[in-house]
Each structure stands twice: as C-alpha cells, then as structure tokens.
Amino acid sequence: MSTPDLLLRIDGVERPGADGETFAVTDPFSGEEVARVAVATPADVDDAVTAARRAFDDRRWRGVPARERARVLNRAAGLLADRIDELAALETRQIGRPLREMRAQLRRLPEWLEYFGAVAQTAEGTVPDFGADHLNVVRRVPLGVAGLITPWNHPLLITMKKLSVALAAGNSVVLKPSELGPVVPALLVGLLEDAGLPAGVANVVHGFGAVTGRALSEHPGLAKVDVTGGTETGRAIAAHAGRSLIPVTAELGGKAPVVVFDDVDLDAAVGGALFASFVATGQTCVQGARVLVAASAYERFVEAFVARAGALRLGDPKDSATQIGPLVSEAQRAKAVEAVERAVEQGATVLTGGATPDDPALQRGWFYPPTVVGDISSSMDLWREEVFGPVAVVRPFVDEDDAVRLANDAQFGLAASVWTNDLGRALRVTERLDVGIVWVNDHHRIDPASPWGGFKDSGIGSENGLEAYRGYTKAQSVIMNSRPPGTDWFATSEDLRYS
C-alpha cells in the first residue's frame, strides 16, 4: 500500500494510521484527487492524546514563559504570512471556494497568532479581599489537553480560531480536521513546529466523524472539547463531555436574519444582503439565509436583489472572475436541491435559481445557482432548517416589532445583521435580537479580539477575544496566611471565628 500524501502527526512524527487505511480528498470542481489521507484509528487517537498529555505534564510548553510563547506564535504568524497564496490555492482545491475569497480570508489569519500571543503576555490574575492576615491570589492556569474538531467550510480560519488561543494559554491539543478539508489545517501544525512549538504539543489525527471524531471527543484524557459543526453533532459531544465533566465550546448551526429597514440606501442594503447570503456559496454558519425587508421597500428591494443574485458568475473557483464556486460535495448539493423542492411543494415560490445549471462548462463541479425563494411562511421547513448552501428566503415585515419577532423566530441564535441609518433604531433592535453576533450595516465581519458565539441551538461559549482565552484556562485560588502557624482549632474550647 502506497504512503498517503497526508499522514497523522503524533508527538512530532508523521506516520500512517495503525491499520493503513486512507481516504481521498477531491476537488469539488474538477473531481481530481487533491490528496490521499491517512485514517486514524481509535488506537491512533489514544496515542495522540497520550502524547499531548505527556507534553503537558512535562511542561515543555506550558512551562515556557508567556512572553516566549508569544514569540513562537509571532514567528509562526510571519511564516504563515509568507505562504498565504500557496495555502489559499490549496484551500480552493479542497473545498471549491473562489480563490479571491480564500486569499482575502487567509490574509487575516496571522492576526490570530499575534493577538493571542499578546493576550498571553498581558493576562493578569486577581487579588480578592480575603480579610485580615491572608492574601488571596487567583491565577489562570491552562486546562490540559484540548480536543479540537473543525469543519470543512473554513478549514484554516476555524482551526486558527481554536488553535491560536489554546496554545497561547499553554495547553496541548489534538486536532481532528474535517475529512473534506484536512490538508491546510495539518500544514499549520507543521508550520508552528517550524516556528519553535515543541513536538507533541499539537497533534493531528485524520478520519471520519463516526470513528475518529467520536474517539477523540469521548476520550477520557481530554480537559476540553472545542467543536464547530452541526447542531446534532454538538449535542452528542456536549452530552458525553458533560458526563465526564469536561467543558465544551461548540459553534453550531445558524439561520441568520438580514433585517433591512426602509431608511437605508437600497443599493447598499442589496449589496450587503447579497454578500451575506452568497459568500462562500452560502456554506457558512452565519449565512444571511432569511432576508427580512420593510414592507414599504419590499418590492423594490426584492427586484434588485433577485436581479443581482441571478447575475452572479459561477465557474472555476481558480478563476479570479468567478464569484460563486461549486458546493463542497454531491451530498451538499443534493441537500440544497431537496430543500428548495420541498419549499415549493409547501407553497413557496422560486424567484431565481432553484435548479442545477445546464451550462456544459458547469457540469464537472457540484454547482447550484444562487437561489432566492419568496412566499415563505414560518411553517415551512426552509424558514427554519439550515441548508448550508446558496439559498436565501425573502419576507416582508410591518414594523420594528414584527421585524424582531420574525428575526427571533428560529431555534438558532448565532448571528444577524440590521440595515438602517437610524442609530436609535439600530440600538433598539439589536438589543432585542436573541443572537450572539449582530452587525449593523455590515455582515460576516470578524476579528480575533471580538467574541464569536451563539445563543439557543447555535452553541455554547465563544471563540475569539478574552472570552475564548478564559475558556482555555481555569482559576486557581491560592490563599496565604501571613501569620503562621494560624489558629490551633482543637487546642481551645473558646468560641472561634471560622474565616
């Protein structure tokens, strides 16, 4: 059996899986094989967790001063910046997202290493008032071994969001990337070791969720699980981790509303909604899947929105003229097709798109056109269920109360955007939205300093910012008596103060 292109990385050593099994990563545009990848068995996962735990226990990384850890992360940021074009091209081949989008996204990623390196250096404990003759120092210490389970839609970005903060805080990790996009996340770990990360601190296992992912998420040696994926997967992982008292951060599904009021510039709102709905071919958890428009502007908005959506250019994602690439897989396209067909059966109307393209140039890839659906009601599946494809619904609202009611009418609560020129309205509406991330006159913007997490079925905890850093540490309270040896409790029968 030939050696796969992408091996497991355990304790700094690349190796095949224990049983020699491999799987192929294929280009969703051309169908060509991008890489053949080694599959990790549960025994391999156990080896990876054991290696990470050994690295944590011997303090080869957590024992390094925060300033030196930051230097390693900053060196890695420089190495990453030098390889952005190469890695963006690999990302495009893995998942089919247009190269122009991948370059724009990956150019931001060194910032995560730089930011969390700075946080590690400036993080401070506290000194609560404990009373006379005692000093209480509370310090933050790393958790241990974190299991990181990342998705295919933003392979390197989401890996970076988890890995940068976990390492900055002094933890060891085992990373399990999606089987649809594992190549670039695995390269990031090698790059970190080139920058000075000790071997064994970050380990990589590949495989499918049902075996490799489950073996990692249920491993008793973990101190934390951090997962981005589907809501049902997140529920299962959180339930198991809860039984083991392991903390979980989970960024899960979404059905983000884009709320457009009639005081905003129409062209700007249409352009913003178009970006929200169809960037990354709609394959993002904060996709603007429900476009809600003030009734007084609804017809004008929908006419312009539908015209622009229908004119978006599908094609080879490596071509800089391409605006919409293929979906990541046949299964993902089938899900979009089925969701739209079911909506039509339930009474909705397709305003543009809604059928696989018949252009001969688009037959090789898993293409589905930007699709806008109207005549939608809250009882329809398409209103509530995440498609994870280029499908958006449009619906009018009457006033602010109606807009908020419709925006909150979902089991998800990850993100929303509000489009208005009225500052008071923006403040009123954003305060009432039951979501974790709200943009005003923008959508899908991110920064390493800005917390990213959802409410309701969209997850637990936050990525990014000081919230994430605290989530990768735990509080240790040290109480020192400044007048030893203290009270001899059992040497007297007098009333004593227990404090």
* pLDDT tens digits along 364-404: 999 999 999 999 999 999 999 999 999 999 999 999 999 99
The mean pLDDT value of the chain amounts to 96
β-sheet bridge partners, residue 250: 227, 460
**How much is the pLDDT for 243?**
86
Instruction: Establish whether 91 is a catalytic residue.
Output: no
Lowest mean pLDDT of 71-80, 114-123, 131-140, 159-168, name the range: 131-140
Q: Which of 455, 457, 460, 463 is nearest to 232 (CA)?
A: 457
Query: Residue 275: which H helix or E strand, with range?
Result: helix 266-278
Nearest-angstrom CA–CA distance, 370 and 389: 9
Calculate the dihedral angle through the C-alpha atoms of 118, 119, 121, 127, rounding to the nearest 10 degrees.
160
Nearest-angstrom CA–CA distance, 259 and 406: 9
Residue 217 has pLDDT above 90, yes or no: yes
| φ, ψ of residue 29 in degrees (nearest 5) | -90, -50
Average pLDDT over residues 238-253: 92
Residue 497 has pLDDT above 90, yes or no: no
The residue annotated as part of the active site, out of 101, 179, 251, 386, is 251
Angle 276-365-230 from CA coordinates, rounded to 5°: 50
Nearest-angstrom CA–CA distance, 225 and 443: 28
Residue 85 — very low, low, confident or very high, per pLDDT cuts 50/70/90? very high
* pLDDT tens digits along 272-301: 999 999 999 999 999 999 999 999 999 999
Residue 488 — very low, low, confident or very high, per pLDDT cuts 50/70/90? confident
**What phi-psi label fits residue 199: left (phi over 0), alpha (psi between -120 and 50 degrees) or beta?**
beta
Residue 463 has pLDDT above 50, yes or no: yes
Residue 1 has pLDDT above 50, yes or no: no
Q: Give ranges for CATH 3.40.309.10 in the chain.
A: 256-440
Q: Which of 139, 170, 145 is nearest to 63 (CA)?
A: 170
Asked if the 256-440 domain carries CATH number 3.40.50.300, the reply is no
- What SS3 class is residue 85? helix
- How is residue 490 annotated by DSSP? G
β-sheet bridge partners, residue 397: 294
Lowest mean pLDDT of 290-304, 314-328, 453-467, 473-487, name the range: 473-487
**How much is the pLDDT for 486?**
67
Average pLDDT over residues 407-431: 98
Average pLDDT over residues 206-212: 96
Average pLDDT over residues 450-477: 96
Residue 499 has pLDDT above 70, yes or no: no
Residue 489 has pLDDT above 90, yes or no: no
Average pLDDT over residues 308-320: 97
Q: Which of 309, 313, 335 is nearest to 324 (CA)?
A: 313
Residue 2 — very low, low, confident or very high, per pLDDT cuts 50/70/90? low
Q: What is the 3-state secondary structure (H, E, C) of 423-446?
A: HHHHHHHHHHCCCCEEEECCCCCC
Q: Give ranges for CATH 3.40.605.10 in the chain.
A: 5-252+458-478
**How much is the pLDDT for 132?**
87
Average pLDDT over residues 458-471: 96
Question: 0.85 cut: is pTM over it?
Answer: yes
CATH superfamily, with its number, for domain 5-252+458-478: Aldehyde Dehydrogenase; Chain A, domain 1 (3.40.605.10)
Q: Are 89 and 315 in contact (CB under 8 A)?
A: no
Query: Residue 172: which H helix or E strand, with range?
Result: strand 172-176
Q: Cis link prior to 451 (omega < 30° from 0)?
A: no
Q: Which of 228, 179, 221 is nearest to 204 (CA)?
A: 179
Residue 355 has pLDDT above 70, yes or no: yes
